[in-house]
Amino acid sequence: MIDFHCHLDLYPDPPAVARACVERGLYVLSVTTTPSAWAGTADLAIEAPRIRTALGLHPQLAAERKHELAMFEQLIEKTRYVGEIGLDGGPEYKSQWGDQMLVFTRTLEICGAAGGRVLSIHSRRAAAAVLDEIQRRPSAGTPILHWFSGTNRELARAIDLGCWFSIGPSMLRGQKGRELVSRMPQDRVLTESDGPFAQVDGRSAWPWEADNAIGALAKIWNRSAAQIRAQLLSNLSNLGRLAQLSAH
The per-residue pLDDT for range 157-214, each reduced to its tens digit, is: 999 999 999 999 999 999 999 999 999 999 999 999 999 999 988 999 999 999 999 9
Pairwise CA distance, residues 16 & 143, whole Å: 30
Nearest to 146 by CA among 223, 103, 91, 198: 198
Averaged pLDDT, 223-246: 92
β pairing state of 27-30 and 2-6: parallel
Nearest to 116 by CA among 108, 124, 127, 126: 108
Q: How big is the chain by its Cα radius of gyration, in Å?
A: 17
Averaged pLDDT, 62-77: 98
Q: Which burial class, exposed, middle or buried, applies to 153 when counting CB atoms under 10 A from its CB (0-12, 13-18, 19+)?
A: exposed
Secondary structure element (H or E) that encloses residue 27, with its range: strand 27-30
Q: What is the structure's pLDDT at 186?
A: 98
Where b means 16+ CB within 10 Å and e means fewer, 200-237 reads eeeebbbbbbbbbbbebbbebbeeeeeebbebbeebbe
Decide: 84 and 58 in contact? Cβ < 8 Å.
yes
Nearest to 137 by CA among 160, 159, 164, 116: 116
Q: What is the structure's pLDDT at 45?
A: 96
Q: How many helices (H) and strands (E) does the chain have?
A: 11, 10
Q: What is the structure's pLDDT at 246?
A: 62
Could you give the domains of the chain?
Answer: 2-246 (3.20.20.140)
Q: What is the structure's pLDDT at 70?
A: 98
| Residue 165 identity (one-letter amino acid) | F
Query: pLDDT for 130-160, tens place per residue?
Result: 999 999 999 999 999 999 999 999 999 999 9
Q: Is the pTM of this model over 0.75?
A: yes
Angle between helices 97-113 and 127-136 (to 10 degrees): 30
First to last CA, the chain: 28
Nearest to 99 by CA among 123, 54, 69, 131: 69
Calculate what percentage of the chain has a pLDDT beyond 70.
Answer: 99
Q: What is the structure's pLDDT at 236?
A: 97
Query: pLDDT for 23-43, tens place per residue?
Result: 999 999 999 999 999 999 999
Q: How many CB atoms lie within 10 A of CB 15?
A: 11
Q: How confident is the model at residue 247 (pLDDT cuts 50, 70, 90)?
A: low
Pairwise CA distance, residues 168 & 196, whole Å: 12
Pairwise CA distance, residues 214 & 227, whole Å: 10
